[in-house]
Amino acid sequence: MQICQSLGVNHFIYRGMMIGGQTRAVLISMVFEKSMVISGRARAGGKAITDGASSEEQDSTDEKGKSKKTPDNNKTDKNAAKDKKGVIGEGQGWGNGRVVNLMSVDTYRVDQASALFHMIWTAPIQCIITLALLIVNLSYSALAGFALLVLGVPALTHAIKALFRRRARINKITDQRVGLTQEILQSVRFVKYFGWETAFMERLNKIRNSEIRSIQVLLAIRNAINAISMSLPIYASMLTFVTYSKTANNLAPAEVFSSLALFNGLRMPLNLLPLVIGQVTDAWQSIQRIQEFLLAEEQGDVAVHDPENTHAVELNGASFTWERSTTQDPHASPVNVGGDKNAASQKKSAKSSKSANTPKPLKGTDESDDTASTLVEEREPFKIQDLNLAIGRKELIAVIGSVGSGKTSLLAALAGDMRKTEGEIVLGASRAFCPQYAWIQNATLRENILFGKELDRAWYKEVINACALQQDLDMLPNGDATEIGERGITISGGQKQRLNIARAIYFDADIVLMDDPLSAVDAHVGRHIFDNAILGLLKDKCRILATHQLWVLNRVDRIVWMEGGKIQAVDTFENLRANHAGFRQLMESTDVEKEEEEDEAAAVESKPDDKPKTKKKRAPGLMQAEERAVASVPWSTYGAYVRASGTILNAPLSIFVLILSQGANLATSLWLSWWTSNKFALSENIYIAGYVALGTVQCLLMFTFSIYLTMLGTRASRKLLGKAVQRTLRAPMSFFDTTPLGRITNRFSRDVDVMDNNLTDAIRMYFFTLAMIISVFALIIAFFHWFAVALVPLLIIFLLASSYYRSSAREVKRFESVLRSVVFAKFAEGLNGVASIRAYGLKDKFVDDLRVAIDEMNAAYYLTFSNQRWLSMRLDLIGNLLVFTTAILVVTSRFSVDPSIGGLVLSYILAIVQMIQFTVRQLAEVENGMNAVERILYYGNSLEEEAPEHTVDVRPSWPEKGEIVFDNVEMRYRAGLPLVLKGLSMHIKGGERIGVVGRTGAGKSSIMSTLFRLVEISGGHITIDGLDISTLGLHDLRSRLAIIPQDPTLFRGTVRSNLDPFNEHTDLALWSALRQADLVPADANIDEKDPTRIHLDSQVEEDGLNFSLGQRQMMALARALVRGSRIIICDEATSSVDMETDEKIQATMATGFRGKTLLCIAHRLRTIIGYDRICVMDAGQIAEMDSPINLWKKEGGIFRGMCDRSGIRAEDILSASAALTAGRVTSNDSRGAAADAEKHDLEISEM
């Protein structure tokens, strides 16, 4: 029977784990597939298809986070609740961080609950069968004990309900933590520029502390359930035996110990039941969340696909709308970064901040006054309306218009990224899409261009040449086989955009949508791409080009002129200029491209390299393989875990409490044995009192052990994660360049969840069962000494089987962890590229790629639990031999050992097989949890760190002048890579304005990296106001500099927390910066909380998606103004904005940064021609450096060539210089057509 039981239990667990693994694989695939099609409204927190409120909505507010409401607010909320039935996640929306949490944590919880799920119903059946046998043994006295079991059910039910509520709350906090962690990691370069690591650590710590407190409450509830479950068999047996004794029956050993064996048989299922209940409640909550997501509204393909249509694109009365809206619940907002400095103002504005979240579309054509200073209410997202347009299959269309007119929105609508509200859209062919921000995969450059298509070498080479990529391939260490890293971190913005164009061309779609792709490349390369790619390789395609570079307009077939979200006119260039006064006025300051410049641009491509070509060494792969320990989890990991709980003494203290509880357990059973034999000749009442007292002490000690372990575990988890995140944020940029984001996210989501919720339970159950096994062996040996002899060979067999198992199991488990990180990386990458994947129609390809990765992960996972069952079967055999041996010893010693002791020993040994089974399972769970601890510890202890944040004391006023000296500076990005700065020497005077120009790879951005010490220099020195920056702490250095980056970054929170996360500045200072940056109008009042305008408490969504690109650039400028640094670095901040926004930024920089040192890496040449000096970089060295006018006078010079190609004359340079000297910027000081000929495309640095 024992062997049959062993086979049945092992097969039950094996099948459960297999189903769990399969379920997890399917759920991950379904979540990813759904994320490819979820609508913008659902992503932002709009309505779902479901009718009922979600489980999370039913418990929307933490008890500590409830806000007081006015009667009016209450009324509004009730109405809103009535009208918004089925709103997803309380308006939280399904941001990337929340979706990743579904994939990593929720699917794992479903998997984990599957193994022992059926114990939910088998345990009650086991209780009923045990009751029947007890009644046979002890007649109706058994009903007293059973009644106690029944009375325990309501307490368990109440506790389980509390578990459901608590888990729903924790899920929200965990979503916040994982979302914020992912947001920080995605923007870690920006965080380092500003020295904001500490600010974000504070924000994470506040969320983490809230999460840990909630988890401690949840685990306390679990421990209460556990205490009830563990106490019930003890008290039930007590009550049964006391009742049996008091009903005039003598306690016969045969009846008592056979009954005790039955009660002991209940211990294991009832001890495991709380664990199973906890897992099932967590899994149920996770299933509810996954269901919520899967039922969320889908985008769908709004277009009618008609290959027979004569037109490639038709819009008939079509209207589209964006659906991004507020994702913040004012009553459940994320934890603020700062302290209490602005707490009062934050509370004051809590009610008004909700509706001020999204950019307001312009109603007319004049947008200069309020484009950047208005926000839309939640119910009025930006729309494009009444679109009627037919585009031929070989037509080239240019879409133009002012800021916010709807150019990008039109392309997004055609790409399927907006909701169609009216009319019809017909597509007659396949489409490809070049978004404004190129999405780059973590793969080789070639794989990014091929994008899943087969390699056609001839076509591929044509595409490379047409996109001016050949010279870049020659420069890259492995050519087109070079890994370009996650989000293209190893290539410039211009290279990303050209790769983006190359991908669209190679895809060979018949409709090509291009959202201002030429903005990020320099002027002559832009002409080359326009001539050879857009007018060349794509000449037989339908091309729709949104642009603000008006020099292309006379070379397109037709022009779509948009204003205020509507098409104002569609006509040819000549007709528009002849018939539309507005278009004529627009073109008066912009001449069309001159034919003679085409030859000049083409000459750039064929210009021979002056330097002899050398054979390149093949560089190692960019992405580093994940570290994988090759031995079992070392004891040092266990030691570090215990030390993180507070002190190393916690381990022996916990074991001491456990020993006491097991001692009480044995004492209780021995007392029962002595009672049955009346060993001490005491009265029955004394025996009863002693039995009850010992049983109570046993229960209290077990509960104390559980609670103590929970507190230690959560304390260790909090400390280990805090240390790991801090060390990760202090890691050098080379770590982030070579480590996929998904791998890091895996540790900070799944591994942390294991540490938080599973590890302490696994440790508790493992030590309970292990202690019970040891105590049973000790009991048997105490009365049957020959058992020790039989135990030795069985112990040797056990050790051999365990050693054989562990050598393979630990490797398989670690392989599974590494393969899981691959799944995470692919999942996260796909989420970031949803718009491109949709537009190209490649959803199935990416889903299939992810499924392959999931299958590989599951292959290792299958081996993991197969190994566990292999060992369990062998241990069960050993356990059965132990039962047989004990039975023989009891029989042979029946005359020398008291029958009551024999009965006691047999009652315990019968449960030994089940104990061994679950000890093995819990040991595997402990090792799994400690593997997670080991991976977190690696990030906390072993990651390379940047230089210290603080070293020598720096005077508070430093730098006073802003003087920068580069002295023979050399720099390489990582060991083994070539130098990118080669002996750079430059002296920048305090208050001087320096423009830095040069082609891709010349070393412009490397100067900025060395100045901020994102990369440490290999040789030379950099000094600021006489201080060598290599001797300064990184925070002391970076906090004294300011940067306006090329890609503006906003973080989820408020405008205030984005401008001033440390709360170092007054609201007046922040408001002044917003005014200077033209984010609020001059007449706006700081105390006004107009929901249609930006104010300091306006909510900012993830990635700042509720602000337009121009607003984000202005916010970056406001940050620099608030910082008040003497040195400002501008890294191509205007490369992706139109001339109007560019002029606003330049005007603010001219006045706001007057008298300060400004180092501007330029993209548009006209923005820097008035600067004091120009530095022309070439191959990591300064090729030219002088005043703009002197460089212009240098015939044949690089800068002069740039000016000639851009139509810049000496008069323009002198005019710009005079304007900057006066503290202003001229807008249209036209001195002839040639002076402003290329006003909208003067780009000279990036390719």
505: Cβ contacts below 8 Å, ≥ 6 apart: 432, 463, 466, 467, 512, 533, 537, 538
pLDDT (0 to 100) of residue 30: 94
- What is the rounded average pLDDT of the residues 1177-1193? 90
> What separation in angstroms does the CA of 819 have from each of 339, 939, 1064?
41, 18, 44
The answer, yes or no, to whether residue 1182 has pLDDT greater than 80, is yes
The helices-and-strands tally (H runs, E runs) of the chain is 41, 24
The answer, yes or no, to whether residue 83 has pLDDT greater than 60, is no
d(Cα 209, Cα 176) in Å, to the nearest integer? 12
- What is the rounded average pLDDT of the residues 1059-1071? 88
- What is the rounded average pLDDT of the residues 556-583? 86
d(Cα 1048, Cα 161) in Å, to the nearest integer? 46
**Between residues 450 and 65, which one has the greater pLDDT?**
450
The answer, yes or no, to whether residue 847 has pLDDT greater than 90, is yes
pLDDT (0 to 100) of residue 481: 83
The answer, yes or no, to whether residue 22 has pLDDT greater than 90, is yes
Architecture in CATH for domain 383-579: 3-Layer(aba) Sandwich (3.40)
- What is the rounded average pLDDT of the residues 558-582? 86
User: Which pLDDT tens digit goes with each residue over 530-544?
Assistant: 999 999 998 889 999
User: Which pLDDT tens digit goes with each residue over 544-564?
Assistant: 998 877 778 888 999 998 888
Distance of CA 514 to the CA centre of its chain: 29
**Between residues 673 and 340, which one has the greater pLDDT?**
673
- What is the rounded average pLDDT of the residues 1046-1064? 85
- Residues 93 and 44 sit within 8 Å (Cβ to Cβ): yes
User: Which pLDDT tens digit goes with each residue over 917-954?
Assistant: 778 778 888 988 898 899 899 999 988 888 888 888 88
Per-residue confidence band for 25, with pLDDT thresholds at 50, 70 and 90 = very high
Burial of 800 (0-12, 13-18, 19+ CB in 10 A): exposed
Per-residue confidence band for 158, with pLDDT thresholds at 50, 70 and 90 = confident
Supply the mean pLDDT for the chain.
Answer: 79
2: Cβ contacts below 8 Å, ≥ 6 apart: 876, 879, 880, 883, 913
d(Cα 571, Cα 1154) in Å, to the nearest integer? 45
Please, what is the Cα angle at 205 between 200 and 208, to 5 degrees? 125
Q: Which CATH superfamily is domain 140-247+639-809+834-894+908-946 in?
A: ABC transporter type 1, transmembrane domain (1.20.1560.10)
The answer, yes or no, to whether residue 358 has pLDDT greater than 60, is no
- What is the rounded average pLDDT of the residues 554-581? 87
Whether the ω angle into residue 959 lies within 30 degrees of 0, i.e. cis, is yes
> What separation in angstroms does the CA of 279 have from each of 20, 53, 163, 868, 913?
12, 24, 10, 20, 24
Per-residue confidence band for 79, with pLDDT thresholds at 50, 70 and 90 = very low
User: Which pLDDT tens digit goes with each residue over 1075-1122?
Assistant: 888 888 877 778 776 666 788 888 887 777 777 777 788 888 899 999
User: Which pLDDT tens digit goes with each residue over 161-181?
Assistant: 888 888 888 988 998 898 889
Query: 367 in helix, strand or coil?
Result: coil
The answer, yes or no, to whether residue 274 has pLDDT greater than 70, is yes
**Between residues 613 and 402, which one has the greater pLDDT?**
402
pLDDT (0 to 100) of residue 1140: 65
User: Which pLDDT tens digit goes with each residue over 135-151?
Assistant: 888 887 888 888 887 88
Query: 783 in helix, strand or coil?
Result: helix
Domain ranges of the chain: 1-43+92-139+266-299, 140-247+639-809+834-894+908-946, 383-579, 964-1085+1093-1225
**Between residues 669 and 467, which one has the greater pLDDT?**
467
- Residues 184 and 748 sit within 8 Å (Cβ to Cβ): no
pLDDT (0 to 100) of residue 486: 62
User: Where is average pLDDT lowest: 371-375, 745-749, 911-915?
Assistant: 371-375
Per-residue confidence band for 1138, with pLDDT thresholds at 50, 70 and 90 = low
The answer, yes or no, to whether residue 848 has pLDDT greater than 90, is yes
d(Cα 12, Cα 16) in Å, to the nearest integer? 6
- Residue range 964-1085+1093-1225, CATH number: 3.40.50.300
**Between residues 314 and 268, which one has the greater pLDDT?**
314
Helix axes 684-729, 759-783, angle to 10 degrees: 140
The answer, yes or no, to whether residue 156 has pLDDT greater than 90, is no
Residue 792 carries which side chain, given as an amino acid letter?
A: V
User: Where is average pLDDT lowest: 54-58, 186-190, 666-670?
Assistant: 54-58
- What is the rounded average pLDDT of the residues 377-396? 78
pLDDT (0 to 100) of residue 721: 94
> What separation in angstroms does the CA of 175 have from each of 34, 164, 586, 843?
18, 17, 48, 26
Per-residue confidence band for 1239, with pLDDT thresholds at 50, 70 and 90 = very low
Equal CATH topology for 383-579 and 964-1085+1093-1225: yes
User: Which pLDDT tens digit goes with each residue over 944-989?
Assistant: 888 888 888 888 889 999 999 999 999 988 777 788 899 999 999 9
The answer, yes or no, to whether residue 74 has pLDDT greater than 50, is no
Instruction: Report percent pLDDT > 70 for the chain.
Output: 83
**Between residues 621 and 693, which one has the greater pLDDT?**
693
The answer, yes or no, to whether residue 84 has pLDDT greater than 60, is no
pLDDT (0 to 100) of residue 80: 39
User: Which pLDDT tens digit goes with each residue over 1195-1222?
Assistant: 888 888 888 877 788 888 888 888 777 6
pLDDT (0 to 100) of residue 967: 93
> What separation in angstroms does the CA of 1169 have from each of 805, 997, 1218?
72, 11, 11
pLDDT (0 to 100) of residue 72: 43
User: Could you tell me which of 530, 516, 526 has the C-alpha nearest to residue 411?
Assistant: 516
665: Cβ contacts below 8 Å, ≥ 6 apart: 698, 772, 775
**Tokens 């090329």 sit at which residue?**
1046
